[in-house]
Amino acid sequence: MSKSHHVEKATGVGDPQCFKGEAPAAKFKVGDKVRIRNLPDIFYTRSQMYLREAEATVVKLVYESPPAEDEAWDNTDSPEWFYSLLFKQTDLWPDYPKKFETDTLETELSERWLEGI
């Protein structure tokens, strides 16, 4: 193992700021509707199971960073865009009271978890 740890790159700059400009062009823009992919989740992920196959709206492109699945082993060569996504609570939970059907949930996922709809 000769790979140097990315702390050198992040020192004085910040993380994820140190990955700015390294992701491929963003596939989605604010306002786009997306569906969360139900990818395998062995070993590590930050992508919540309860979001899989649910629909969301992109509200912000937040930063570029290696996906959590890679960064968890300090693999930082493939940063991608992270998106802030808005879900309807009634889309996520079958028993969510109709009375609160305007409730939303906002969370961040990396681009590999999204597909356009």
Partner 1 sequence: MSTRENIMRHLNIVGQLQPALHQPQHAPTGDLIDNAHFRAYTRTSHDVGGEADVPITWEEKEEEIWEHNTFVTCEVLAWRGVWNAEERRRRQNVDVGQTIYLGMPYYGRWLMTIALILVDKQHVKLTELIDKIEEVKQRAKKQDGQFYDAKGHDL
User: Contact residues for partner 1 (CB under 8 A)?
Assistant: 4-8, 11, 15, 38, 41-45, 48-50, 52-54, 68, 71-74, 92-94
In sequence order, the β-bridge partners of residue 114 are 36
Tell me the closest approach of the beta carbon of residue 8 to partner 1, in angstroms.
7
Nearer to partner 1 (CB atom), residue 83 or residue 87: 87
In sequence order, the β-bridge partners of residue 115 are 35
In sequence order, the β-bridge partners of residue 34 are 56, 116
CB–CB of 56/50 below 8 Å?
no
Nearer to partner 1 (CB atom), residue 24 or residue 41: 41
Q: Side chain identity at 76, as an amino acid letter? A: T
Nearer to partner 1 (CB atom), residue 45 or residue 57: 45
